[in-house]
Chains A and B, each alone.
Chain A
């Protein structure tokens, strides 16, 4: 464990050195970057809600027996997984107005990120649903449990425990992906850093701060996810 402390100390010294070296300008360029961080967090929050609900819907849809529902889900997943997020964002922001649908950059960003990651999440959900033993369904039929109750009470509680690690990874990926919304004129961390870099030419400091901010968000999600996983698997841990 000793080297870890040494590395952390070195990292800390580096950051302190950086902030001392740029103390006068730090208070010039830090506030805009922090304002960008707020935008990043807002977009992350809303697109996370969209992403989780879409992945549950599409994951369940792909698992249905109704052909129309299954095909719709499959097409959605393949289209949004196959295209690049940046292309989707551009399409939402620059092409949809041609068809008469005009969105604010914020809405377009949330929609783009949410739709894209919903498609990835759907696969995680589907994988978790298939991982629940088949006997559970048969038992539910034998006990005359309504299909809807089966999904809500039996299938999902078991599937959630399986899908948490995958969803946590995707959430981290999603927070990283929100950097792309700077392409559609939203001033998030990335865009703010580029702007401040053009103003003050403190490349090393500005982009180190930006990277560290994203790193902190990711670590936060990772620890939160570990706690969540523990919560959802608590009944499994007891049995062991």
Chain B
């Protein structure tokens, strides 16, 4: 075993901390985009016209059945062909967001379908406006199944960000690869990257459990 602490603290850590910022930004940005994209896809899927709902369903299926890595490459190499040149980080965030919005769409759908039909009918019968129906009746009831699932996708997105290293985004995995290539020492950098992901996911899993409890007790009484 050949682990050097001075190398770890003087070379690896400063660059890793910098890269952690990029990872965090990529995670948060693609999660927010995926939340919105998932909502749009869900609404399109539920559209009255078959000509809109069918292609959306097939699109979601296709996105879910193909690897994110190939989708990242697809966008990364293809967008410039159409004259759209984006920085690799933006392309990567976009790809992760599209992939996860297909997954989030299913989560939203499951959440809304969990609300009994009678609730909608009761709202119509009681002449409650559409806005208030959503705000006070539908959304509070559909949140408990949705929130933990979305939290899991947040962690999943976090663990998907190393894929961005394939298109040379300076996130944690790319930096540890670079350190490995520069000094020909992979041990410290890759191990620290692994520990970083492990610790962050454990913390995130703990927080999701807290939020889950909070939602269960506060929003739905």
A: residues with CB less than 8 A from B are 3-4, 7, 78-79, 81-88, 90-91, 94-95, 98-99, 172, 176-180, 182-183, 189-190, 193-194, 197, 203-204, 207, 210-211, 214-215, 218-219, 222
CB distance from A8 to the nearest CB of B (A): 9
Interface of A is mostly: helix
Set of chain B residues within 8 Å of A172, measured between Cβ atoms: 65
* Chain B: CB-nearest residue to A197: B77
Set of chain B residues within 8 Å of A207, measured between Cβ atoms: 70, 73-74, 77-78
Q: Which of B62, B68, B190, B197 has the most CB of A within 10 A?
A: B190
Bound CA span A85–B54, Å: 33
Set of chain B residues within 8 Å of A179, measured between Cβ atoms: 67-70
Contact of B190 (CB < 8 Å), options: A82, A85, A91, A190: A91
B197/A87 in contact, CB under 8 A: yes
Q: Scan residues 52-70 of chain B and give those whose CB is less than 8 A from a CB of chain A.
A: 54-55, 58, 62, 65-70
Set of chain B residues within 8 Å of A99, measured between Cβ atoms: 1
Can you list, as one digit per residue, whether each of B170-213 has a CB less than 8 Å from chain A (1) or not (0)? 00010011001000001100110110011101100100000000
Interface segment among B11-19, B86-94, B139-147, B161-169: the answer is B161-169
CB distance from B88 to the nearest CB of A (A): 14
Bound CA span A211–B69, Å: 10
25 A-B pairs in the complex with CB atoms less than 8 angstroms apart: A7-B55, A7-B58, A82-B202, A84-B160, A86-B163, A86-B165, A87-B173, A87-B190, A87-B193, A87-B197, A90-B176, A91-B191, A95-B190, A95-B191, A176-B65, A178-B67, A180-B69, A182-B69, A190-B69, A197-B77, A207-B70, A207-B73, A207-B74, A214-B66, A218-B66
B162/A86 in contact, CB under 8 A: yes
* Chain A: CB-nearest residue to B55: A7
Set of chain A residues within 8 Å of B74, measured between Cβ atoms: 203, 207, 211
Set of chain A residues within 8 Å of B109, measured between Cβ atoms: none
Tell me if B10 is interfacial: C-beta within 8 Å of chain A: no
Tell me if B113 is interfacial: C-beta within 8 Å of chain A: no
Interface of B is mostly: helix
A98/B54 in contact, CB under 8 A: no
Q: Which of B50, B55, B73, B78 has the most CB of A within 10 A?
A: B73
Set of chain A residues within 8 Å of B55, measured between Cβ atoms: 3, 7
Given contacts A3-B50, A87-B173, A87-B190, are A214 and B67 in contact (CB under 8 A)? Answer: yes
A180/B163 in contact, CB under 8 A: yes
Bound CA span A214–B66, Å: 6
A82/B67 in contact, CB under 8 A: no
Set of chain A residues within 8 Å of B1, measured between Cβ atoms: 98-99
Bound CA span A149–B199, Å: 40
CB distance from B84 to the nearest CB of A (A): 13
Tell me if B81 is interfacial: C-beta within 8 Å of chain A: yes
CB distance from A100 to the nearest CB of B (A): 9
Set of chain B residues within 8 Å of A215, measured between Cβ atoms: 62, 65-66
CB distance from A202 to the nearest CB of B (A): 10
Bound CA span A81–B204, Å: 12
CB distance from B155 to the nearest CB of A (A): 9
Bound CA span A179–B194, Å: 19
B67/A90 in contact, CB under 8 A: no
A214/B190 in contact, CB under 8 A: no
Bound CA span A149–B121, Å: 52
Set of chain B residues within 8 Å of A81, measured between Cβ atoms: 201
Set of chain A residues within 8 Å of B180, measured between Cβ atoms: 94
A193/B78 in contact, CB under 8 A: no
Those 6 A-B pairs whose CB atoms lie nearest each other, nearest first: A218-B65, A179-B67, A94-B186, A176-B67, A82-B201, A86-B162
Bound CA span A210–B67, Å: 10
Contact of A78 (CB < 8 Å), options: B186, B193, B202: B202
Bound CA span A94–B71, Å: 26
